Chain A
Amino acid sequence: MNFSFVTHAIGRLLQVLGLVMLLSLGIAIIETSPRSIAEAIASPALLGFVIAIALTFFAGTILILRKPSRLVGNGIREGFTIVTFGWIIFAFFSSIPLQIWFNMTDHSPFSLYKLFYHFTNSYFEVMSGFTTTGSTILTDIEALPKSLLFWRSMTHWLGGMGIVTLVLAIFPASGITGYQMFRGEVPGPTAEKLGPNLRQTAKILWGVYALLTLAETILLMFGGMPLFDSVCHAFGTLATGGFSTKNLSIGYYNSAYIDWVITFFMFLAGMNFLLHYQMIFKRNFSLLTKNSEFLFYSKVLGGAIILSTLILWIKGILPADAVGEIFRGYPIPSDQLQTVVSGESSKFDSFFSALRFSSFQVISITTTTGFMTADYDMWPNALRTMLVFLMFVGGCAGSTAGGIKMLRIQVLIKSMIREVRRMVQPKIVQSIKIGKVPVEEKQVANIVGFLLLFIMTYGILVFAMSFFVEDFSTAATAITATLGNIGPGLAGVGPTQSFNWIPLEGKWICTLAMLLGRLELYTVFIAFAPISWKR
């Protein structure tokens, strides 16, 4: 392992982070408009950003000072290590503004526990942002100053397309490691190059991403959403993140127009960005009818939406007493239970209303966004189970979504069918094809291996989590939601709940799950594997 190379690259990452944080600092200045330095220091958000930027630049510059020695070898170890540690360190520096704000607004006496408690919360929140998970530890989101809300959404936006990819777009790709880093970060089993080189590819991806974000922002503003909220929600949607600026998430606006705009853009964000590139820049719309993964994605979503719409429209949500039995971190007071449930129930009275709410939740969950307009924890058990399955599936490869990814699911299903067939006809030779493109056998093995790794990691994390959380569905779906980068789970971490009440140990487990999920396990395992550290 070439350490100087790794530290140098991470230094570059931090410099980029410092630059991006300046944006939030600008918002903090506008928001507080301090008339003197003393006033500025008194504002926790402003102070937080100043300190964070200073520290980030300082650390970045120190790491960059040492010139890297020449890289020998294939650069895989270095690439994957840069990505993994880059993300860990990135999240640390990004959490500084939140830490300062939490500490300064928490007026309880100073203690090391308090420091660690807020560090955990801030780190969880920022990691949730960068990994586009969208799980939050905040119970009152609206209490946060705008600069911090913006920063939360900004972390989504940066993490969605990938911080390393961003750095690659800005700085010339550093040779062989460039591709390895890109590979380590891009979601899905294959990292396709769109342009002649990596820098071009990274630029195209970010270009498409920025364009779609702009489009959504404008469309949301037409629906009457303020500029600030529109930008934040567009960040959250395209990154398939899920952080909102409101406690009630998108439900706050209670507007069919806004719901449909966000539903549409969540759907877009769950698609392979290669398709967007082809459609926007090459005017090649025929891909939509040919791309096998996209068709599968549309069918899965279509099926799930039809099923949930029909069940909810005909059968409705659970009765109040059944809802009351569901475990919650913040139980609904029993005198309000009836009102809350009937309020939820009224969303599914008419067919179109049922369609609107169910498609929003289904797409939000499948694309691993995690916005919500209805409490799906009150839905019939079959639908909740379906949503948990969809959490595992996730969006398409090459999108900003998390989960196992449609492409992998397709390959897994096909390889399953192939095995069954091979039992009956032992001499048959079959390739697994996505569309008409054969998948290499190595790739198939990699994907089957990925599933095993995913299941085992999931099992271990759920087991670890159940030491700290007594309710099973809470423990299990907390890991599902974080490992799949969705955000909300069921029961104690359901759509109306927060992760705040979970013990610190549980929060760290979830933080780890988010990182593993975002970097698709392999990258993190490679970075920590002993083989990577041998000289």
Chain B
Amino acid sequence: MNIIIVGGGVVGSTLAQQLEKEQLNHRITLIESGQEKCQKLANKLDILAIHGSGLDPAMLIQAGIDDADMLVAVTPNDETNILCCYLASRFNVPNRVARLKSTNFSHEFFGLKDLGVTDTIEPETDTINQILEYLYVPEQTEVINFRKAGIALRGFKVTLNCALVNHTAAEIAKIMGDPHVLLLVISRNGNTIIPNGESLIQLGDEILLLMPISAINRFHDLFKTSGDKIAKVVINGESPMTISLVKEIEKRAKRTVLISEDEEFCRMCADSLHNTDIFFGDPGQEETLIDAGVNTANFFISVDEDGEENVMTALLAKAEGAEQAIAVTNYEKHLQLFRTLGIDHIIQPTKLSTQQIFSDIAGFSRDAVFRHSKTDMDMSHFYIESGSRIAGSPIHEIRKKAQSQFIIACILRNNEFIMVSGITIIEEHDDIIVFYNSHDLKSISKLFRA
């Protein structure tokens, strides 16, 4: 595949890195306007890095836009990204992805499609949504939305007041009020259980649920722990998404507190936020946290630009007595460390968007769209080509033929979400999402790709 990435910031370079790791002979070209950054990327990764503007048609031609399969515009500037996509549409690039920070552009008046944007990635919006998910149901361990497919994956710990405790897998759909909710796996005391209809959900289990995105509101209602409103949420940071995040949290919390060490940002927030107490001070210092009343907070959320600082501040807040801490960081190593450090949730904005490009938009990845680290289970997305061996046969027959175990999570046929049972027949041009043990990747791919 021939992929052009415009903008070599955090999102751009992570994306390039991920694509490079895939080793699928993608031809990756990155256009970056900063000379130094460009040089660094060229040295670090096996990609073609061009120094120049993504809005310069000559530069795009040089990057090989004529036969590109995909253009991903991830500069920090929304307008530039949209224009890049527009240019790409003039060159007949089929997939044109723009990264958007502002939610203004998703307004229908813009008609992003007419502007040449086929897909968008919104790391900031995704991060906010992810944080809100954790506020709703703090027991969640996995929160992934496949927007294009219209399905959502939720992993969470079963606690005492969980609606599903001591119910069988077959009853879940009834409790949730949606026949499409599917229990994928239960992790109990370190063991992985592939459930059937009679499997009982017990206290302390960690379970994975797959559901249509439309069922999420119901999911929140059923599993939220903190009544209608959370008592107190403290947020730290002055990144651009902070204000929209706080505005959302204001709706869900009785008391919202914002800490920032940028005085001008504090003033701006004081003007535009109506139900939030704003404190000016270094969140790395105890007295600031005490002043802001972190000790009585139900949630402490750190969304500053610097990931490392976020993790540190979140730890400090936790030490001061905050019940739950959420930190935003782009460092991969933090993710591995965070549980031992005691932070409850870590959110990686770039991962959210690169994940989306891989799993949702392009669909070309051979890598799993989702990997459940607890159970070593992978979820992949396969497209049944015309003339596929398995097309036309029901699922239970395919199961018999296959050398390894798998669950077909769902089928998307003509953009419709289809509930799967043993007798469901796989058809050509189906999009199927398969859940399997990661060791069986090879045989599974062979089965569905051939």
Are B278 and A428 within 8 A (Cβ)? yes
B residues less than 8 Å from A433 (CB atoms):
271, 274
Q: Which of A422-441 contact B (CB under 8 A)?
A: 425-431, 433, 436, 438
A428 to B269 alpha-carbon distance, docked (Å): 12
A residues less than 8 Å from B280 (CB atoms):
427-429
Min Cβ gap B317→A in Å is: 15
Interface string of B386-411 (1 = CB under 8 A from A): 00000000000000000000000000
B residues less than 8 Å from A436 (CB atoms):
274
Are A427 and B267 within 8 A (Cβ)? no
Are B270 and A425 within 8 A (Cβ)? no
Residues of A within 8 A of B (CB-CB), count: 10
B46 at interface, CB cutoff 8 A: no
Are B281 and A427 within 8 A (Cβ)? yes
Number of A-B contacts (CB under 8 A): 36
Are B291 and A425 within 8 A (Cβ)? yes
The residue from A427, A430, A431, A438 contacting B291, defined by CB atoms under 8 A apart: A427
The residue from A427, A431, A438 contacting B292, defined by CB atoms under 8 A apart: A427
A438 to B288 alpha-carbon distance, docked (Å): 25
B277 at interface, CB cutoff 8 A: yes
Are A429 and B278 within 8 A (Cβ)? yes
B266 at interface, CB cutoff 8 A: yes
Are B291 and A429 within 8 A (Cβ)? no
A438 to B270 alpha-carbon distance, docked (Å): 8
Q: Which residue of B lies closest to A439 (CB)?
A: B271
Are B279 and A431 within 8 A (Cβ)? no
Task: Give the dominant DSSP class at A's interface.
Answer: loop
Contact A430:B274 (CB < 8 A) given known A425-B279, A425-B291:
no
A433 to B279 alpha-carbon distance, docked (Å): 17
Are A431 and B281 within 8 A (Cβ)? no
A433 to B274 alpha-carbon distance, docked (Å): 8
Are A429 and B274 within 8 A (Cβ)? no
The residue from B267, B272, B287 contacting A429, defined by CB atoms under 8 A apart: B267
Q: Which of A146-177 contact B (CB under 8 A)?
A: none
Q: Which residue of A lies closest to B281 (CB)?
A: A427
Q: Which residue of B lies closest to A428 (CB)?
A: B279
Q: Which residue of A lies closest to B274 (CB)?
A: A436
Are B270 and A430 within 8 A (Cβ)? yes
Are A429 and B266 within 8 A (Cβ)? yes
Q: Which residue of A lies closest to B263 (CB)?
A: A429
A429 to B266 alpha-carbon distance, docked (Å): 6
Q: Which of A414-456 contact B (CB under 8 A)?
A: 425-431, 433, 436, 438
A431 to B264 alpha-carbon distance, docked (Å): 12
Q: Which of A253-298 contact B (CB under 8 A)?
A: none
Q: Which residue of B lies closest to A425 (CB)?
A: B291
B residues less than 8 Å from A438 (CB atoms):
270-272
A residues less than 8 Å from B270 (CB atoms):
429-431, 438
A431 to B263 alpha-carbon distance, docked (Å): 13
Q: Which residue of B lies closest to A430 (CB)?
A: B270
Q: Which residue of B lies closest to A438 (CB)?
A: B271
Are B267 and A431 within 8 A (Cβ)? yes
Are A431 and B271 within 8 A (Cβ)? yes
A428 to B280 alpha-carbon distance, docked (Å): 6
Shortest beta-carbon contacts, A-B, top 5 = A431-B270, A438-B271, A429-B266, A427-B281, A429-B278
